[in-house]
Each structure stands twice: as structure tokens, then as C-alpha cells.
Amino acid sequence: MAETNEKDAEILELLMVDLGKTENMPALQKKYLQSLISSARTEIKREGVTIDDESADDLLTVSMYAAYLYRKRAKDGDDSKMPRYLRYRLNNRVLSEKAQAKADAS
């Protein structure tokens, strides 16, 4: 697993709030959530999105993706479809980055 950075600590806090797990979380469970954050970062990059650690919006996107992975696993894969809001968010980022790259090339 990649080394946890300061921004991943912020994402972990957001994720814990999203999941309703804000009190006395065991270290092993935190480590699992950190693994989900790392995996979420990888999956988002695979989608073609560049993550900016200085963007609160991007940190929230990573947190939301990690929460999706957590909930998907908790339901034994029954809820395999990505939530629409997250799919739209990722699609919009990909399109935005492509448009920006095209504008920069002009």
C-alpha cells in the first residue's frame, strides 16, 4: 500500500464521516479504509482523471469513491453499480480535462 500522506488523512476523516464511523475506530479498520482510499485513487486515475490534492472537490471525490467501494463490499457485491452521482462526477471531470487539453493545444 502506498504511504499515507497528509491529504489522505483528510480523505480518511471525510470517509469516516460519510460512513458514520467517527468514534473509536480500531486501527485495523482505519488501515482498511486507507487501503480503500489508495484503491479509489488508482481507480479514479484509471478512469482518466488527474487528482489534484489541493482541490477540496478532488479530495471529496476520492472519499466518495472509497465509500462506494466500502459499501459495495459490505453488500457482498450486490450493489455493483456505481452510484449515478459518482459516475456523473467522474465523467464530467474526464470531459473537462479533455476540453482543457484541447484548449491548451490550440
pLDDT tens string, the chain, 106 residues long: the values are 444 588 999 999 999 999 999 888 899 999 999 999 999 999 999 999 999 999 999 999 999 999 999 998 877 656 568 899 999 999 999 999 889 888 888 7
Query: pTM (2 decimals)?
Result: 0.87
- For residue 75, the model assigns a pLDDT of 74
Q: How many CB atoms lie within 10 A of CB 71?
A: 13
- For residue 2, the model assigns a pLDDT of 46
Angle at 32 between CA 65 and CA 11, to 5 degrees: 45
Q: How far is CA 94 from the centre of its chain?
A: 15
Q: Where are the domains of the chain?
A: 6-105
| Interatomic CA distance for residues 68 and 72, integer angstroms | 6
